[in-house]
Chain A
Amino acid sequence: MKSEPSFDHRPDPELGAALRTALEPHGDQSAFVARVMAQYQNALDRATIPALDVLAAWSRPGIAVAAAALIAGFLFGRNVLMPAQTSTPAYDAAMAPVEGPGLAALVSAQDPPDASVVFTTLVDQR
């Protein structure tokens, strides 16, 4: 046993060896390693379900974005493929001349229509 130096910077091999023996773990090291690795595997297994939840949560906005893109693509494609059809059948029907003052007169008039004209138009449409 060496004399006590104050704040010795070097480890004491004799004391170190005695302490190492005193603190030597019980049981086999490989069993401990296997136990830690089993816990590691359990942690990974437990992490699987939350990971799927996270992925599912991520997929919801993704589906919405994909649907919006599909609709936008459809509308754009239809306009590109059918540029000549600018008017719809409903618009043409509404603007077609009818007996009496008609819808055309109603939508193109500068002043508000007279109530009797509106009534007559509705009756004529029937």
Chain B
Amino acid sequence: MGNSESDNDLVAKALAGDRDAFGVLVERYAAQARRVARAVLGDPDDADDAAQDGFLSALVKLEQYDVRRPFGPWLMRIVANAATDRRRRRTVRRAEPLDTALVGGGPRPDAAAVRSELGDRLRSALAELPERRRTAVVLFDVEGYSHAEIAGILGIPEGTVRSEVFHARRRLRTLLADWKEQVR
């Protein structure tokens, strides 16, 4: 099956019971779904579980998908909700909002892993942001969704999305600038 098929064609085939078509959709959106889930949850294993939940939930709801709208934001909304549900369950279990130990920040034995250190810092900084804020900035700056699409994904007004992206960027850009100063 060619990967050039449109999302809508693949959705139609998946609805007709074509397992491979669903597989292509999973493959196409796996990386994005895992990153968005990780933005919500922090922990990569939890994020993968949530992304998986999201894909299976999307499969169950596939008949509800409106083919006149883009598939990506629809799927990301389901993935983000699955991640949020998982975080809520985890919060109840652990009685803490986000385990920052899981998102890195510990000492690195290898001094050459400078880039990895930046990743740790960014993950820690993301973990300190409110969930909606970090999800919004990842959807905007990493995944390239528009403010309107993010508003649909997160179920909030577009103006709120702009505000969340703005505040998240201010924090993350400061961190990135500091890091660049350090490595010079």
Using a CB–CB distance below 8 Å, which chain A residues touch chain B?
1, 4, 6-9, 11-12, 14-16, 18-27, 29, 32-33, 35-37, 39-41, 43
Q: Which 5 A-B pairs have the closest CB atoms?
A: A16-B141, A22-B122, A22-B119, A25-B34, A23-B35
Minimum distance in angstroms from A16 CB to a CB of chain B: 4
Alpha-carbon distance A9/B144, docked complex (angstroms): 11
Counting residue pairs across A and B whose Cβ atoms lie within 8 Å, the total is 109
Taking a contact as CB atoms under 8 Å apart, the answer to whether B122 and A25 are in contact is no
Alpha-carbon distance A6/B140, docked complex (angstroms): 15
| Residues of chain A contacted by B177 (CB below 8 angstroms) | 1
Which residues between 143 and 181 of chain B lie within 8 Å of chain A, taking CB atoms? 144, 147, 162-163, 165-166, 169-170, 172-173, 176-177, 180
Select one of B23, B47, B144 contacting A37, CB under 8 A: B23
Alpha-carbon distance A85/B22, docked complex (angstroms): 67
> Known: A11-B141, A23-B138, A23-B142. Is A39-B56 also a contact (CB below 8 A)?
yes
Alpha-carbon distance A19/B48, docked complex (angstroms): 17
Taking a contact as CB atoms under 8 Å apart, the answer to whether B26 and A33 are in contact is yes
Tier of interface size on chain B = 35 or more
Alpha-carbon distance A6/B47, docked complex (angstroms): 31
Taking a contact as CB atoms under 8 Å apart, the answer to whether A36 and B52 are in contact is yes
| B137 close to A (CB within 8 Å) | yes
- Secondary structure class of chain A's binding surface, majority of residues: helix
Taking a contact as CB atoms under 8 Å apart, the answer to whether B19 and A25 are in contact is no
Alpha-carbon distance A11/B142, docked complex (angstroms): 8
Taking a contact as CB atoms under 8 Å apart, the answer to whether A22 and B19 are in contact is no
Alpha-carbon distance A20/B31, docked complex (angstroms): 10
| B15 close to A (CB within 8 Å) | no
Taking a contact as CB atoms under 8 Å apart, the answer to whether A39 and B52 are in contact is yes
Minimum distance in angstroms from A24 CB to a CB of chain B: 7
| Residues of chain A contacted by B138 (CB below 8 angstroms) | 19, 23
